Amino acid sequence: MRSIIEPVRAIINQRPGEVNYLEAEAIDIDPTSNKLTIQQSTTVHSGHTGEDTSASHPRIHREHGMDHITSDVSYDYLVVAIGAKPSTFGIPGVAENSTFVKEVNDSIKIKKKLIDLVEAANLLPHDDPERKRLLHVIVCGGGPTGVETA
């Protein structure tokens, strides 16, 4: 199942010094000045000194045992890709009889189900209608995941 995920560190290590990865919540966008305001939160006291090459003028406040570091990041181009929620489009029975592919665990669940179906079908004679039913799989989806799965 390794091919369905790519650790961010693997990408960063391919371009040393060229990629700066920040995991944070975007709390404001100023498209006029091309600045994104982000907030990083941690339970580990940051001891942040204000030296940060990736963000300007970090502001730190501590609340409920968490350090919240707010800073501005300049950008040339900003791509906002927040993902999507699987939709059944109101089709009856889809939610109850489908497995959506949103997370890695969803893919693992589908792989296990497919293996179970093939193993069950292999126990039946080739001309058994139940075998045909077990090996009949439908892939639905108009997005990249559905197309790649098919």
Q: Coil, helix or strand for 60?
A: strand
Rounded to 5°, the CA angle 83-88-91 comes to 165
82 belongs to a structural domain: no
Q: Coil, helix or strand for 53?
A: coil
CA atoms of 74 and 63, how far apart (whole Å):
26
Question: What is the CB neighbour count within 10 angstroms for residue 90?
Answer: 7
Which residue, 74, 105, 122, sits at the end of a domain? 74
| pLDDT on residue 12 | 82
Q: Is the per-residue pLDDT at 120 higher than 70?
A: yes
Q: Round the average pLDDT of the chain to a whole number and report it.
A: 80
Range of the domain at 65: 2-74
83 belongs to a structural domain: no
Rounded to 5°, the CA angle 17-4-117 comes to 170
Number of domains making up the chain? 2
Q: Are residues 104 and 142 in the same domain?
A: yes
| pLDDT on residue 68 | 79
Q: Are residues 69 and 9 in the same domain?
A: yes
Query: Is the model more confident about 85 or about 30?
Result: 30
| pLDDT on residue 46 | 53
Query: Is the model more confident about 57 or about 39?
Result: 39
Which residue, 46, 74, 102, sits at the end of a domain? 74
Q: Are residues 8 and 68 in the same domain?
A: yes
**pTM for the whole thing?**
0.49
| pLDDT on residue 124 | 96
